[in-house]
């Protein structure tokens, strides 16, 4: 994982297919207007409502805990418990993006 990652490129590609990624990562969620609303799998979240992802920007937040991020890579890192770089590599691989 030593290759440099173009974070902007990975984020743009991920944003273009964000609803599909969210359906895979947070399958119990649903689209409400321009947001994906789901239960947070990183805590004992009983019902959707406080964990939201903006489908236009990729910004996300869990309003119950204060956890938040500004893009799809940070969301992938948060959900999988990875570093930003590891998450970017994983996303690039998933999206078929060459990172070298």
CATH number of the domain enclosing 17: 3.90.580.10
Q: Give the E-state strand segments of the chain in sequence order.
A: 30-32, 35-38, 51-54, 60-62, 68-69
Look at residue 100 in the predicted model and tell me its pLDDT.
60
Residue 88, domain extent: 7-92
Read off the tokens for 36. 């994906």
Positive or negative torsion for Cα 46, 49, 51, 52:
positive
Read off the tokens for 88. 């970017």
In-domain check, residue 2 = no
Answer yes or no: are the C-beta atoms of 76 and 93 closer than 8 Å: no
pLDDT tens figures, 31-63? 999 999 999 998 988 777 889 999 999 999 999
pLDDT tens figures, 60-81? 999 989 999 999 999 999 999 9
In-domain check, residue 99 = no
Number of domains in the chain: 1
Dist. CA 64–CA 61, nearest whole Å = 9
pTM as predicted: 0.91
């Amino acid at each position: 994982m030593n290759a440099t990652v173009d974070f902007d490129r990975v984020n743009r590609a991920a944003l273009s297919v964000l609803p599909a990624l969210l359906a895979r990562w947070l399958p119990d969620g649903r689209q409400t207007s321009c947001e994906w609303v789901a239960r947070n799998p990183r805590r004992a979240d009983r019902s959707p409502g406080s964990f939201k992802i903006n489908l236009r920007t990729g910004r996300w937040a869990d309003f119950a805990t204060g956890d938040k991020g500004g893009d799809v890579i940070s969301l992938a890192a948060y959900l999988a418990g990875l570093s930003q770089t590891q998450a970017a590599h994983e996303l690039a691989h998933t999206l078929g993006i060459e990172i070298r």
